[in-house]
Amino acid sequence: MPLILFLAAFAVLFFYAVALYNGLVRLKHEVSKSWANIDVLLKQRNEELPKLVDVCRHYSQFEQQTLTQVMEARAMLSEAARAANVGRVGELESTLRGLTGQIFAVAEAYPELKADQQFQHLMQRISQLEESIADRRELYNEAVNNNNVRIEQFPDVLVANACGFHSARPLSFAEAEKRDVDVHELFSR
């Protein structure tokens, strides 16, 4: 009888450990899937930005420095995303979003450019991608949070440590994005 109780207890503990392990694996893959979804959108935006820059270049007076900065930031962001460097992606994402906004702001001074159908289409497409990226960032950070909380909770921490599960890094915003907007500066441009 004690052997049967021992085997029953062992079976329950074994299946409980397996359930914990499988839950941790699911969370780990959820983080990876969320990152892959962001990566897809970043690639789509990176494909659209050169088209936007090309349309803007047709207007010889358009601010070339901004276009050059956009292309440089795009290249660095692409490299950081390929390397899965979450911290650098968050930093460059903010930079690129600001530069894209600058293009749209500078375009206000070019009525012909604003009226260009291709420019309008690209501007709308990039704006939609920006919104989607923001949504995916939120989903990624939620997956990271779920993963990190789970691997720190008892008894999951025992399985996580024994099986080599690690915490993931959330995609954070640059300090510039968290600051209050200076309305006076916006109207003085």
Q: Is the separation of the CB atoms in 40 and 139 below 8 Å?
A: no
In the chain, domain spans: 14-187
- DSSP H helices in 58-155: 64-82, 86-107, 111-115, 117-152
Q: What pLDDT does residue 13 have?
A: 92
Rounded to two decimals, the pTM is 0.71
Q: Is the separation of the CB atoms in 99 and 136 below 8 Å?
A: no
Q: What pLDDT does residue 174 have?
A: 61
Cα–Cα separations (whole angstroms), residue 169 to 54, 65, 93, 184: 35, 33, 16, 36
Q: What pLDDT does residue 178 have?
A: 47
Report the amino acid identity of residue 30: E
pLDDT averaged over consecutive 10-residue blocks of the chain (189 residues)? Answer: 88 92 94 90 86 76 77 87 83 83 79 79 87 90 94 91 91 59 44
In the CATH hierarchy, which top-level class contains the domain 14-187?
mainly alpha
Cα–Cα separations (whole angstroms), residue 119 to 97, 131, 188: 17, 18, 26
